[in-house]
Structure 1
Amino acid sequence: MNRHEKSTNAPSLLRNRFLQTILLSSVLLQIGIWVRNFAILLYVADRTNNDPYAISLISVAEFAPIFVFSFIGGTFADRWRPKRTMIWCDLLSAVSVFAVLLTVHYGSWHSVYLVAFISAILSQFSQPSSMRLFKYHVAEEQLQQGMALFQSLMAIFMVLGPMLGTFVYSTFGLETSIAIMGVVFLLSALVLIRLPEDNLKPKTDAAKGQFRKEFIEGFRYVWNSKVLRMLGLAFILAGLAVGVAQALNLFIVTERLGKSKEFLQYLLMVNGAAMLIGGGVVAVFAKRVPPQLLLAIGMLAGAVCTVIVGYSTSVPLTLTVQFLNGLVFPCIHIGISTMILKWSHTSIVGRVNGVLNPMFVGMMVVSMSFAGALKDAFSLGTIYSGAGLLFFLGALVMVPIMNQKAPDHAYAAQET
């Protein structure tokens, strides 16, 4: 019996020291990320006069390294001590942010893309380490509720983040915004020192060539699991849909709704407020609903709402649809995270995450890269209809595995 199984008698999820610490760290990181996102978006829009290629490049800079480094990061996360890995990643992120700040100060404004680029690389080592600790320190029956708590935190910042990011950039400018990001990464590293110890030993005695073997093992593990295979396909379809919609959000605001680019924050705030409510609702019912069904519901809602947003020229209608989409969106995040944790053994969860995550992010990068060209060739309504169709196909992918049960022993995730 491992430490994870022993923890099943924990009386309250919120009394879990690991969860308390990781939530506080996440709050700090979310502050930095939202200030960064809006500072870079508004700054690049100002410098390039709303050039769609320059704006879509922000998303490419943020997500492209995830596709490249997630495979490697997931493998190393299974080899290294997760607590130490997370602390070092936050420290190195802070150092890189201050280095970029100096570059920006002395005249190279294009280096703002590096802020997103470098922190995205380091997150690929930190995030799977966090997943390993989550599976280790949180009881099996509390996993889905734990993920719902994380979703609620993300939703809070979907509401507060745009306001915070726009306020900081408008009031203090780009350099202060970047500096704030560096400071919160340092604070997060200090908070993570409080993480409880674990028995997840680093693999220091691994033979030469062992990394390659473990790297391949992650792909084999996913391929041998029907559930994880289908999840990978759903990731690809959702990534293509989310990428193009996210990259062109600014043009929904400026062209379809006829508002200034600053209005984007209100669109995101409405969506985030709904996500907060939806996350709470899902947390209550999480134990009774299979994660596959949660994911399918979220994708179906995403399909309908994406199409409507693409065609709507009414501000009230678009805001209403964004609210409804946000209400159901937590189903996607919670469903995916729970499936990865329940169908993966503790010793390999980092690699499973490292294999599946790039499928989503890689397709996001592909669709973001083509977003500018698509915008020139097609109307926003046509593009968003295509994104909605991809969401619908992602929901259909869940049908063959809808009745699959999570294995009693996590290592038995490799179904026949």
Structure 2
Amino acid sequence: MSTLFLQIGIWVRNIATLFYVKEMTNDDAFAVSLISVAEIAPIFVFSFIGGTFADRWRPKRTMVWCDVLSAASILAVLFAMANGSWKAVFFATLVSAILSQFSQPAGMKLFKLHVPEHLVQKGMSVYQTLFAAFMIFGPVVGTFVYQNYGIETAIGVMGVAFLLSVVSLAFLPRDRQDEGEKQKSKVLEDFKAGVSYVWSSIILRKLGSAFIAAGLALGLIQPLGIFLITERLGKTEDYLQWFLLVNGVAMIIGGVLAMSFSSKISPQKLLAFGMTVNSLAFIAMGFSTDYWVTLGLQFISGIVFPCINIGINTMIMKNTEESFIGRVNGTLTPLFMGSMVVTMMLSGVMKNAISLVPLYVIAGLFLLVGVAVIVPLFKLKGGIQPEPEKVAVN
């Protein structure tokens, strides 16, 4: 329920901010790009910091305070906008993005604490399906609120959504009394221990490599979807919305299907399956010049994409001790985001140099490299913990 309310607030914020900034700057591309900077930059700067403190603090309390502070920041934004400073909308995005880097790993800790291990994969399937649903309905809700009520109401809806999330979190079990109080080490020591913990586990090391491969692949083609439609398929830009719609519907269906067979397949096999099918779909989409074939490939890609997210999150949950959940997330997430940003920056230049088709082939090959890294883990059964003694030595 907390995630449901947060997704409403986040999507209303994202769409309303996009429209508002375009309107206030007369479609200035640089100003619009700053919205993405405000969303992505905190992941690099605060992901590991947030993960480390999430391991030191009580998880429920951390999540509640993050939502309360996010809601409080909305009051400051509305006050600033009332006094003529429209650029304050960037502050709302930046603050909630920073606080999410503390809240998200705390939520993963609560999953680890309260969800039985045999239900973790199904729980992650439900979680992924919720995110997929908002890929379809989120833009609709955000557009409706902004076009009918304006930016102030949209920002207000975001604040109310955070407060409703706090109410939902109030029904969670209490944090253990010793949670967040047993750590006597310094923050820097916790940083080092988190990196050592990931490095000491063959599973987490390989998962980090898969993160990099997936990030390189997705970053390479994500900005080029519009060119696939206009150049390869000869359609207008309007057709992009149908590709996004098909992808969102497919992800919902994929999440539901993953729930039904999640207990019958290991998370590493689920991850490898999702990456393999996506790699082949990317390559085929690059070569296709038929609209309906490409749309079908987009559906296939979307229906197996939840397997990637579910497999990754389940592997982290099952192979990480509760006291290291935050730092493991904080270490692995920047690997994915960093590699994705690198190829996103290069994709436009590479497209002009080698054309669109080779880029989709390269993206598919990146994913296959990630699969090759994961395959040796197929023989592992159950949750295998990293060796704590290696962490201690480091």
TM norm. shorter chain > 0.5: yes
> 5+ unaligned residues in a row in structure 1: which ranges?
1-23
> Which residue in the other structure is 1:398 paired with?
374
1:224 to 2:226 alignment: no
Q: Residue 113 of structure 1: CA displacement?
A: 3.8
Match of 2:318 among 327, 342, 347: 342
Match of 1:115 among 89, 92, 98: 92
CA distance, structure 2, for counterparts of residue 372 and residue 169 of structure 1: 31
CA distance, structure 1, for counterparts of residue 151 and residue 291 of structure 2: 30
Match of 2:219 among 225, 239, 243: 243
1:199 to 2:176 alignment: yes
Which runs of structure 2 are paired with 1:139-154 in the superposition (5 Å)? Answer: 139-154=116-131
Distance 1:130 1:249, change over 3 A: same
Conservation of the 8 A alpha-carbon contact between 2:200 and 2:386: no
> Which residue in the other structure is 1:73 paired with?
50
1:187 to 2:164 alignment: yes
100-109 or 127-136, larger mean C-alpha shift: 100-109
Conservation of the 8 A alpha-carbon contact between 2:128 and 2:255: yes
Amino acid at match of 1:398: I
**1:106-140 deviation digits (Å, cap 9, x = unpaired):** 55555544433322211111011111110110111
CA distance, structure 2, for counterparts of residue 243 and residue 104 of structure 1: 34
CA distance, structure 2, for counterparts of residue 113 and residue 227 of structure 1: 38
CA distance, structure 2, for counterparts of residue 380 and residue 396 of structure 1: 25
Q: Residue 340 of structure 1: CA displacement?
A: 0.3
> Which residue in the other structure is 1:267 paired with?
243
RMSD between aligned residues:
2.9
CA distance, structure 1, for counterparts of residue 246 and residue 141 of structure 2: 15
CA distance, structure 1, for counterparts of residue 182 and residue 103 of structure 2: 22
CA distance, structure 1, for counterparts of residue 347 and residue 95 of structure 2: 23
Distance 1:64 1:324, change over 3 A: same
Conservation of the 8 A alpha-carbon contact between 1:234 and 1:395: yes
> Which residue in the other structure is 1:280 paired with?
256
Distance 1:25 1:282, change over 3 A: same
CA distance, structure 2, for counterparts of residue 340 and residue 380 of structure 1: 35
Q: Residue 393 of structure 1: CA displacement?
A: 1.7
Amino acid at match of 2:268: Q
> Which residue in the other structure is 2:298 paired with?
322
Conservation of the 8 A alpha-carbon contact between 1:407 and 1:413: no
Conservation of the 8 A alpha-carbon contact between 2:201 and 2:386: no
> Which residue in the other structure is 2:13 paired with?
36
Which runs of structure 2 are paired with 1:299-318 in the superposition (5 Å)? Answer: 299-310=275-286, 314-318=290-294
**1:368-399 deviation digits (Å, cap 9, x = unpaired):** 44455556656444444333332222222112
Q: Residue 161 of structure 1: CA displacement?
A: 1.8
Q: State TM-score, norm by structure 2.
A: 0.87
Distance 1:277 1:358, change over 3 A: same
Conservation of the 8 A alpha-carbon contact between 1:344 and 1:413: no
Amino acid at match of 2:105: P
CA distance, structure 2, for counterparts of residue 388 and residue 45 of structure 1: 34
Q: Residue 348 of structure 1: CA displacement?
A: 1.3
**1:83-111 deviation digits (Å, cap 9, x = unpaired):** 01001111112222443344455555555
Conservation of the 8 A alpha-carbon contact between 1:56 and 1:371: no
1:331 to 2:307 alignment: yes
Q: State TM-score, norm by structure 1.
A: 0.83
Amino acid at match of 2:160: V
Amino acid at match of 1:366: V
1:402 counterpart SS class: helix
Q: Residue 200 of structure 1: CA displacement?
A: 6.2
> Which residue in the other structure is 1:161 paired with?
138
CA distance, structure 1, for counterparts of residue 247 and residue 99 of structure 2: 28
> Which residue in the other structure is 1:289 paired with?
265
Which runs of structure 2 are paired with 1:11-30 in the superposition (5 Å)? Answer: 24-30=1-7
298-307 or 263-272, larger mean C-alpha shift: 263-272
Distance 1:247 1:55, change over 3 A: farther
Distance 1:407 1:236, change over 3 A: same
> Which residue in the other structure is 1:99 paired with?
76
Conservation of the 8 A alpha-carbon contact between 2:226 and 2:237: no
Aligned residues: 389
Distance 1:54 1:251, change over 3 A: farther
2:362 counterpart SS class: helix
Which runs of structure 2 are paired with 1:369-408 in the superposition (5 Å)? Answer: 369-371=345-347, 373-374=349-350, 379-407=355-383
Distance 1:39 1:289, change over 3 A: same
> Which residue in the other structure is 2:37 paired with?
60
> Which residue in the other structure is 2:328 paired with?
352
Amino acid at match of 1:295: L
**1:322-345 deviation digits (Å, cap 9, x = unpaired):** 211111011101100010011111
Share of identical aligned residues, percent? Answer: 51
Amino acid at match of 2:56: R
